Amino acid sequence: MKKLSLLLALTVASPAFAASGPFFSLKNTNFVVLLGFLVFVGILIWKKVPAMIGGMLDQRAEGIKAELDEARTLREEAQSILASYERKQREVQEQADAIVAQAKKDSEAAAAKAKEDLKSSIARRLAAAEEQIEAAEAAAIREVRDTAVNVAIAAASDVIAKKMSAAEANDLIDNAIADVSAKLH
């Protein structure tokens, strides 16, 4: 197993051993790679790529900062809107409580007025009923009197008719006619 891993390490690491000869020679791959890298870095610096990358990074940082500022502003606006809605909710709740309290007062006042109206209506109806009873009593008394008078007149006329003679009746009629004619003139 150790032999296999050693063999594998040698075959994989063989390009690193490809450099031969002096270091500052074009035959040395390490030197060529170093030269290529330095030329690449030189071109990048000559074309101001680091400044462009720095500028792009600065723009990106400014964009992130602007987004953070906008998010902070939006958060503050949201908090102020939330506070105003909470304040409005409290005001609406207070108004609703006031409306409910006023409705209770109004309903109690209406109930009290209805009780008073009912009492006065009952009193008026009782008074009207008492007046009707008194009127009925008076009518009944008049009717009883009228009936008693009629009965008395009928009884008196029967008694008088039985005790009076025809001559006396004629004298009474003549006297009544004379009284009537004297009172009319």
For the chain, domain boundaries: 27-179
Verdict on whether the full-model pTM lies above 0.75: no
The per-residue pLDDT for range 41-97, each reduced to its tens digit, is 999 899 888 889 999 999 999 999 999 999 999 999 999 999 999 999 999 999 999
The per-residue pLDDT for range 6-19, each reduced to its tens digit, is 444 444 444 555 55
CA proximity to 97, closest of 108, 105, 83, 82:
105
Residue 83 has a pLDDT of 95
Cβ-contact 83, 76 below 8 angstroms:
no
What is the per-residue burial (b if ≥16 Cβ within 10 Å, else e) of 141-178? eeeeeeeeeeeeeeeeeeeeeeeeeeeeeeeeeeeeee
Residue 164 has a pLDDT of 72
Q: What is the mean pLDDT of the chain?
A: 85
Residue 13 has a pLDDT of 43
